[in-house]
Amino acid sequence: TAEEKYKSSAGRYQEIEGPPIAEEIMHRQDESQAVMGRVAYIIGGHHTAAKNNGLDFQIIWEADLLVNIAEDGLADGSDKLRGIIDRNFRTGTGKAIAYREYLPPRE
């Protein structure tokens, strides 16, 4: 895995190491080449905004960002965080979760 090979879980290493692992899993499940290709593409670009080219990719983008906000210490309720959410979340559900978890209503 990226952590073992590079001593880092940085996004670029996840994008390198993730697709072959996913392809092996899908191959063993007799998944179609089309599905394997799409999943590998998404995993191989899930930290690269310019590769986001569909709803399936967007959902992974948002799910990953929901985790990264907490892990990267960005869950501080700041205007900066609000900007990150507003720029990155395009699905109503993803944006609602982000606001609920990280930007609760101010009293």
Do 34 and 68 fall within a single domain? no
Do 58 and 102 fall within a single domain? yes
Task: Look at residue 106 and tell me whether its pLDDT is greater than 80.
Answer: no
- pLDDT tens per residue across span 7-54: 888 888 999 999 999 999 999 999 999 999 999 999 999 999 999 999
Question: In sequence order, what are the residues at sequence separation of 6 or more whose Cβ sits closer than 8 angstroms to the Cβ of residue 19?
Answer: 40, 41, 43, 44
HSE of 63 in the Cβ direction (CA atoms, 13 Å)? 9
Range of the domain at 105: 54-107
What is the Cα–Cα distance from 25 to 36, expressed in whole angstroms?
9
Do 33 and 60 fall within a single domain? no
Give the alpha-carbon dihedral of 17, 64, 54, 89, to 10 degrees.
-150
Do 25 and 58 fall within a single domain? no
User: pLDDT grade, residue 107 (50/70/90)?
Assistant: low
Do 35 and 5 fall within a single domain? yes
Do 63 and 94 fall within a single domain? yes
The total number of residues written for the chain in this structure: 107
Specify the number of domains making up the chain: 2
What is the Cα–Cα distance from 38 to 107, expressed in whole angstroms?
44
